[in-house]
Amino acid sequence: MNILLLRPVPSNERFGLGPFFRIEPLGMEYIAAALEAAGHRVTVADLRFSRSAEHYLRSERPGLVGIAGMHALETDNVLALAAAVRRAAPDVPIVIGGHTAAAFPDPFLAADITAVVIDDGELVVPRLVRALEQRAPLSTVPGLVTKGQDGQPVRTAGELGTLALDAVPKPSRRHVDAWRRQYACLAHRPVWLIETARGCPFRCAFCSIWQLHSRSVRERSIESVADDFASVGDEIFVADDLFWYHPARSLELATELKRRKIRKRWILAQSRVDLVARHASLLEAWRPIAKDFDIFFGLEAATDDGLRGLVKDATVSQTEAGIGVARGLGYGVTGNFVIDPAWNEADFERLWAFVDRHRLFQAGFTILTPLPGNYRRGVIEGHAVIYDPMSQAVYDALQLL
Ligand code: B12
Ligand code: SF4
C-alpha cells in the first residue's frame, strides 16, 4: 500500500521552545521503517518545509493518510489538516497518532478522522494497513480509538504486546533529506533527533509521558544506538525523556561510542538533577562525546514545597548539587520551570531570585494549564495536565524575569 504520513504546520510557534527548535518527525520515520520492512511504500511530508498535502495526495494516491499530533498545542492544526485531506480525498482513511493524540485522543475524534492510534506507531500502523488491505473491520486492530455510535470514544479490543524498540532498529531518515538543513536548535543546524530509550519511571504531576507509558522505560540496544549515532550528523538532540536513566547501560553506551571514535560537535540531552548529582562519573564519561554538551533539566520549582506540589520527587539541594556537577564537568545547563497561574508577586520574586542565584541564564518557563476540551478541575488534580499558550497577564509577568 502507498501510505502518506504528514507532519502539520503548527500555527502557534511563538510559545515555548517552538520558535527556536525545528526537529525532524522521528516517530513517523520509525513508522516508515516498520512499514517499509513489511513491503509498503511510504511518503513522509513535513509540511513546514515540503510541498503541500494536496500535492502528495495527487502524486501518491495513498491508501492511508497518517497525521502526527505531537503537542496539544497543535490540535487545531491537526484537525484542520485532516479536514483539508478529507476535502481532497473523500474516501481515504485518515489516522492521527503521536504523543498528544495517544495521551488524550478525545479531541481528535472528529468526523474527518477514521481512528486515533494510541500505542506505538511501529506496532499499530502495519497492522492497520494489513486490516485495510484485507478489508477487515478496524475493530480487529488493537491500539486504536474510534468514535462509537453514541459519539463516545471506543478503544479497540485485543492485545498488541510490548514493542521491543530494537524490532525497528533504525528510523527511515532519508524521507527528510530534502529539507534536512531546516532542522535546527537555536544556532545548531542541521540537527538530528536520536532516541536511545522511551518512557520515564517518575510521576511528575504535570507530565503526560509517564501516564502514557505506565512509568515504564524501554531501551534500544547499545549496538543499535551506536549505529544510529554513527549514521547521523554532528549536531544531535536526544529525544529520551530521561537520559542517563539506567547508569550502567549509559556507561556502556559511552564506552562503545568512544571505542568507535564517535565524537559530535553538539549534543543536547534532557535529564534530572538528582540523577546527575548521584552519577558524576557517568557524566564525566559522557562529556568527551561532544565538543559542546547541553543538558535540559526539569528544575520546575525554586522551593521544596513547590517541588512536592509537582510530585517531582527531588529537592532543591539536589537541584543545587546536580547543577554543580554538570557545570563542573563543562556541560551547559538550561533550567525549566513550571509557573502556577495562581502565583502572586512574591512567588515570582522567589523564582527570580533562584534563577539569579544559580546563574540560570538559559531558562524556560511554562504555565501549568489544563487540557484543551477538558478544562475540568478534576483533570488538573488528577495530574492530566498539558501546556497551553500563556495568558497575557502571566506573559507580562514573565517579561520581568
Ligand atoms: C522533539 C520534541 C519537541 C520539539 C519539537 C520540534 C518541532 N516542533 O519540530 C521542541 C523542542 C520544539 C518541543 C517543544 C515543546 N514540547 Co516537546 N517534545 C519533544 C520530544 C522530546 C521528542 C518527540 C519525539 O520525537 N519522540 C520520539 C518519537 C519516536 O516518539 P513519538 O514522537 O511519540 O512517536 C511515536 C508515537 O507517538 C507514534 N506517532 C508519532 N507520530 C505519529 C504519526 C502517526 C500518523 C501515527 C499513527 C503515530 C505517530 O508513533 C511513534 C513511534 O512509536 C517529546 C518527548 C518524547 N520523548 O516523545 C517532547 C514532548 C512531546 N513535548 C512536550 C512539551 C511539553 C513541549 C513544550 C510545551 C515545552 C515547552 N515548555 O516549551 C513545547 C511546545 C512547543 C510548541 N510550540 O508546540 C511534552 C508533551 C506535551 C503535550 N502533551 O502536548 C513531551 C511529551 C515532553 C514531556 N516529557 O512532557 N518538543
Ligand atoms: S517531567 Fe521528566 S522526570 Fe518527570 S515524569 Fe516527565 S519525563 Fe519523567
Q: Which atom of ligand 2 is the closest one to the Cα of 202?
A: 5
Cα 131 to Cα 268: distance, rounded to the nearest angstrom: 40
Here the cell at position 352 is: 527570580
Q: Is residue 172 part of a domain?
A: no
Residues 199 and 141 in one domain: no
In this structure, the answer to whether residues 325 and 204 fall within a common structural domain is yes
Give counts: helices (H), strands (E), the chain.
Answer: 15, 18
Query: Which stretch of DSSP H or E encloses residue 398?
Result: helix 392-399
Q: Please tell me the total count of domains within the chain.
A: 2
Planar angle of CA 173, 103, 197, nearest 5 degrees: 45
Same structural domain, 146 and 219: no
Residue 70 Cβ inside 6 Å of ligand 1? The answer reads: yes
Nearest protein Cα to ligand 2, atom 6: 207
User: Looking at the structure, do residues 231 and 329 belong to the same domain, yes or no?
Assistant: yes
Cα of 189 vs its chain's centroid, Å: 19
Q: Looking at the predicted structure, is the pLDDT value of residue 118 above 90?
A: yes
| Neighbour tally for 261: CB within 10 Å | 7
Q: Is 129 in the pocket of ligand 2 (CB under 6 A)?
A: no
* Residue found under cell 512574591: 346
Last residue of a domain, one of 155, 175, 196: 155
Instruction: Give the ligand with the smallest distance to the CA of 162.
Output: 1
Q: From the CA of 201, give the closest atom in ligand 2.
A: 8
Whole-number pLDDT of residue 16: 66
Q: Tell me, yes or no, whether 303 and 206 share the same domain.
A: yes
From the CA of 312, give the closest atom in ligand 2: 4
Residue 117 has pLDDT above 50, yes or no: yes
| Helix intervals (H) in 165-233 | 209-212, 222-231
Q: Which letter does DSSP use for residue 188 in this model?
A: B
Q: Tell me, yes or no, whether 61 and 23 share the same domain.
A: yes
Task: Label residue 211 by pLDDT band (50, 70, 90).
Answer: confident
Q: Is the CB of 129 under 6 A from ligand 1?
A: no
Distance of CA 321 to the CA centre of its chain: 27
Nearest ligand to the C-alpha atom of residue 99: 1
In a domain, 82, yes or no: yes
* 398 within domain boundaries: no
Q: Output the CA torsion 380→201→326→283 (10° steps).
A: -160
| pLDDT beyond 90 at 361 | no
pLDDT in tens, 11-61: 866 666 777 889 999 999 999 999 999 999 999 999 999 999 999 999 999
Residue 164 lies in a domain: no
Q: Is the pLDDT score of 389 beyond 50?
A: no
Within a domain: residue 34?
yes
Model confidence, pTM: 0.93
Short-list 225, 220, 296, CA closest to 262: 225
The predicted structure's pLDDT at residue 291: 98
pLDDT at 375: 31
Q: Looking at residues 127-153, what average pLDDT do you find? A: 94
At 377 the pLDDT is 31
Tell me what pLDDT residue 15 has: 66
Q: Are residues 224 and 362 both part of a single domain?
A: yes
**248 in the same domain as 198:** yes
- The answer, yes or no, to whether residue 395 has pLDDT greater than 60, is no
Residue 71 CA, ligand 1 centroid: distance in Å: 6
Percent of the chain with pLDDT over 90: 77
Task: Of 201, 206, 399, 209, give the one whose Cα is nearest residue 306.
Answer: 206
Probe target for ligand 1 pocket from 5, 49, 99, with the most ligand atoms within 8 Å of CB: 99
Asked if the peptide bond before residue 142 counts as cis, ω within 30 degrees of 0, the response is no
- What pLDDT is recorded for position 202? 94
Give the closest residue to 107 by CA, choosing from 83, 76, 67, 139: 76
Tell me, yes or no, whether 374 lies in a domain: no
User: CA–CA separation, 145 vs 147, rounded Å?
Assistant: 7
Q: What is the position in ligand 1's atom list of the atom closest to the CA of 101?
A: 37
Ligand 1 within 6 A of CB of 301: no
Q: What is the tens place of the pLDDT at every residue in 238-253?
A: 999 999 999 999 999 9
CA distance 43 to 239: 23
Tens of pLDDT, residue by residue over 235-293, are: 999 999 999 999 999 999 999 999 999 999 999 999 999 999 999 999 999 999 999 99
pLDDT of 129 above 70 = yes
> Could you tell me if 237 and 337 lie in one domain?
yes
In this structure, the residue with its CA closest to atom 4 of ligand 2 is 204
Does any ligand 1 atom lie closer than 6 A to the CB of residue 103?
yes
In the DSSP assignment, the letter for residue 371 is: B
Nearest CA to ligand 2 atom 7: 241
Same domain, 206 and 258: yes
Phi, psi (deg, nearest 5) at residue 115: -165, 160
Domain range for 341:
183-369
Residue pair 173/194 in contact by the 8 Å Cβ criterion: no
Residues 85 and 189 in one domain: no
What is the Å distance from ligand 1's center to 99 Cα? Answer: 6
Residue 191 in contact with ligand 1 by CB distance below 6 A: no
Task: Please tell me the distance between residue 289's alpha carbon and the centre of ligand 2 in angstroms.
Answer: 24
- What's the grid cell of residue 208? 503526560
CB-based burial of residue 148 (10 Å sphere; 0-12 exposed, 13-18 middle, 19+ buried)?
exposed
Q: Does 385 map to a domain?
A: no
| pLDDT digits 0-9 by tens, 318-349 | 999 999 999 999 999 999 999 988 889 999 99
In a domain, 175, yes or no: no
The reported pLDDT for the residue numbered 40 is: 98
Find the helix or strand (DSSP H, E) in which 121 lies. Answer: helix 121-133
CATH code of the domain containing 291: 3.80.30.20
Mean pLDDT of the chain: 90
Same domain, 212 and 149: no
